[in-house]
Amino acid sequence: MGNERRSVLRRAMRILETIKDAADGLNLSEISRRSGVPLTTAHRIVSELHEWGALERDESGEYRIGLWLWEVAAVAPRSVGLHRVALPFMRDLFETTQRGVHLAVREKDQVVFVERFLSPETATDRTWVGARYELHATAIGLVLLAYAPPDLQEEVVTGPLAVPSWHAPVTERELRQTLAEIRRVGYATTLIRQEYLSVAAPIHGPAGTVVAALSLILPCTESYGPRLAHLQATARGVSRALGAPQGRTRLALPSDMRKGG
């Protein structure tokens, strides 16, 4: 484990992440073991988090994420705010199409899924609320990448592209062309295991920048023209509800999310 300089805060956050990743609650020793934080130290940190309400403890002594954290997170503009606005639109889209609907945002160089509705047939895939993926591996990620700040795009495009198991751009040249094409037509598509087609469209925020993306999963046998129109109309509806200007799309500003090399 690359030993980042030790720091209470970082360790606390690592512990929170450890608990998040454990489907179930964890007891103290388990937290210590999985997070790599020495038992006594974990004890001190966990106690402090518990005292504040960031963690809860059930009768068997297992710790879980506490309500306080949820209260704090409930004002996160990109997740909960977006979620509240987008949910009814997503539901309408899901109910009329009966196809999987996903909502995601970009966090640095990854896609984070914020909400989803699954049709029974496509329920096999592994996405989950809060899950993270490579930007270039899915249609929804490609849309987010295509409208991301240029410096981040450059970084991803020239960086190592993990080859995904589905059909997606794999060389730098292909990826550049794909992104340009997405910006031109305003949507992205990828194949999923030769059986399904994922179509994604951007959602704009008040500043006109792309703040999220919406996708629809279709069987390949289905013609996607009408579905695409429906998806785009939905994405525009969400954008309008978020207060997006009616005019033309803007790229996001250069990302400030840069630190060391």
Partner DNA sequence: GCTACCTTTCCGCATAACGGAAGGGAGGAT
Partner DNA sequence: ATCCTCCCTTCCGTTATGCGGAAAGGTAGC
Residues that bind DNA (CB under 7 A): 5-9, 11, 27-30, 37-41, 43-45, 47, 61
Q: Give the closest residue to 139 by CA, choosing from 172, 108, 164.
A: 164
Give the DSSP H/E element, type plus range, for residue 8: helix 8-21
Q: Which does 249 bind (CB under 5 to 8 A by kind): a second copy, DNA, none?
A: none
Nearer to a second copy, 51 or 165 (CB): 51
The Cβ of residue 46 has, within 10 Å, a number of other Cβ atoms equal to 25
Q: Say whether residue 150 binds a second copy (CB under 8 A).
A: no
Residue whose CB is less far from DNA, 47 or 96:
47
Does position 59 interact with a second copy (CB under 8 A)? The reply is yes
Establish if 250 lies at the interface with a second copy (CB under 8 A). no
Scanning the structure block, which residue is given the tokens 């969400």?
238
What order of strands is seen across the sheet that includes strand 188-192?
A: 132-134, 110-117, 100-107, 210-219, 196-204, 188-192
Our CB check for DNA shows the closer of 31 and 139 to be: 31
Task: Compose the 63-92 pattern: x for residues touching a second copy by CB under 8 A, - for all others.
Answer: -xxxxxxxxxxxxxxxxx------------
Name which of a second copy, DNA, none residue 20 binds, using a CB cut-off of 5 to 8 Å depending on partner kind: a second copy
Q: Which element (helix H / strand E) includes 95?
A: helix 82-97
